[in-house]
Chains A and B, each alone.
Chain A
Amino acid sequence: MDITRFISTHRKLLLVGFLVLILIFITTFPLYTQASHVRLLTTLLIYVVLAVSWALFSGTTGYMSLAPAAFFGLGIYTMALLQKELPFFLIIAIGGLAAFIFALLIGLVTLRLRGIYFTIFTFGLVIFMTEIIQYLETRLWGQHGQHIDPIDNETIFYAMFVLVVVTVLAIYLIRRSRYGLALLSIGGNEEAAEHMGINTTRTKVLIFAISSFFMGATGVIAAPSLVYVNANIAFSTYYSFMPIFMAIFGGMGQIHGPIIGAVIFGYLEKTLRAQLFSYFMLGFGIIMVAVILFLPNGMMGLVPMLQSKLGGVISKIRKGGQAEQHANT
């Protein structure tokens, strides 16, 4: 009884403490684990950025974008082309910026499209990028694909960690700002939103571009671990679908939904793939169907469900206890 009361009154403090613990855990992670675990955690962090930034735009507005791979791949290629010219950290910013500008242009042209038309366009965009890069590569360099010099695991890990913190913080602030409200109302009823004074086109294009910035920057950091990339690897539709699955799996209502989805789904993917090869996709499919059918709000939807079920039990116990006390006095 006292514990539940303590949790409810010191909620914020506990949350901050929990976050600090996680940050300390991740910061010190490479000190006491082997390289393969560091690589695994890096991958999870990559998925976290992709899922959280996808959910920022698509989860709120309902515009299903299948374009994460286009911006992620743009980041990878930015790294491949600039690795010899500029320092790594500068390339991360440039990769993000390139994705931002590209998304801005794409958004201006396509965000007038609604529903399925927007989705199909973004899917086509990824395929278009694959083709155009392939064409340019053979034309300009007469070669297929690019080599990327590896960078040591820890640099990659810490770069990714910083990017995750920046991304999650920025998106958390956007979601609770007036822009967050504007995005939700566009998702609720775009026409009404426009008539209530929201410049819907500007809001959509801007947020689409911001979410793409993080995807592009992630692509740069992810690139060195790939060592060799060609257009098919960099712009694989896998990177478009994974963040969506993860965000839906975790739940898109709040920012921690996609984070939890990315961590669980990413971990399952890496471990199951090692044991089951590509059959793991079969398991994923079944999990996805089950989540969509039974948990329309994702894993985060479980919390209120459990709360309402357990809450009844707890309050019963508490009432019983109080009755006992009254009886005693």
Chain B
Amino acid sequence: MPILEGQGVSKYFGGLAAVSNVDFHIDQGEIVGMIGPNGAGKTTLFNLISAALPISSGEIRFKGQKLNGLKPHQICKMGVSRTFQETKVFANMPVLQNVLVGAFFGSPNRVLGADATREATQALEFVGLSAMSTTPVKDLTLASQKRTEVARALATKPEVLLLDELMAGLTPTEVSEAMELVRKIRDKGITVFMVEHVMKAIMGICERIMALHHGEKIAEGTPQEIAANKQVIEIYLGEEIRAGS
């Protein structure tokens, strides 16, 4: 049974279908990527899964349980956490306190102060930000702010992590580091579903990729299959990228 799946998922803004009749499934322990041109509905699909937006029709299930009609805080407590395309950090709080929020409120059980602090410290160590735990987040680089978001999401102890353009705006070195981080997260046993435009990253770490266009799923397969798919090349990748590159 897939850990996260959607059937006929649709979202309409007035007459516009931002996501239209999309089926998807994510298996336990996978890294699944989602690509598509701007406005294809990738972030909207994430917003539907995390309940930032109500779904128009269709059904999303997590471990067989329907998510329709739940609130974002309930989804998080069930074990689906996320980061944001445009970082949404608590800018004035120190890094550790940002992560503490996730540790305190993200788990379904009441967490004691000492446990939350330990949890948050571990998450910071995991993403490599221990040295900056007392720095206000607004003083960090974009790459570090994104890592803070990842640590905050990890502190909620998710089973599925949704990463929305983790690599956007990072330098090539930072992209490599972020790729390493995503692999480490998967090795921890957390299933990863990621939206990404950086092809090197998505082709390098994903086991499976789905491509969205105008809200519809146009292709799905291994990185090789996606890179060779005519429609994906035409719409998104352009001619210069070829299979196996």
Contacts and interface: CB of A to CB of B under 8 A. Distances in A.
A194 B101 contact: no
B164 to A, nearest CB: 11
Among A185, A191, A199, chain B packs the most CB atoms within 10 A around the CB of A185
A197 interface: yes
Interface stretch (A66-74, A113-121, A176-184, A220-228): A176-184
Contacts of A188: 89-93
Given A181-B97, A188-B92, A189-B90, A196 B156 contact: yes
A191 B52 contact: yes
A254 to B, nearest CB: 14
Contacts of A185: 90, 93, 101
Interface string B142-176: 00000000001100100000000000000000000
B72 A195 contact: yes
B88 interface: yes
B101 A193 contact: yes
Interface residues of A, number: 17
A288 interface: no
Nearest to B50: A195
Q: State the main secondary structure of chain A at its contact with B.
A: helix
A239 B104 CA distance: 36
A164 B89 CA distance: 35
Contacts of B71: 194, 199
B80 to A, nearest CB: 10
A189 B73 contact: no
Question: Which of B73, B102, B153 has the most chain A CB atoms closer than 10 A to its own CB?
Answer: B73
B102 A196 contact: yes
Interface in A2-47: none
Contacts of B24: none
30 contacts: A178-B113, A181-B97, A182-B101, A182-B104, A184-B93, A185-B90, A188-B89, A188-B91, A189-B88, A191-B52, A191-B84, A191-B88, A192-B88, A192-B89, A192-B90, A192-B152, A193-B90, A194-B71, A195-B50, A195-B52, A195-B72, A195-B76, A195-B82, A195-B88, A196-B73, A196-B76, A196-B102, A196-B152, A197-B105, A199-B73
A200 B93 CA distance: 18
B106 A197 contact: yes
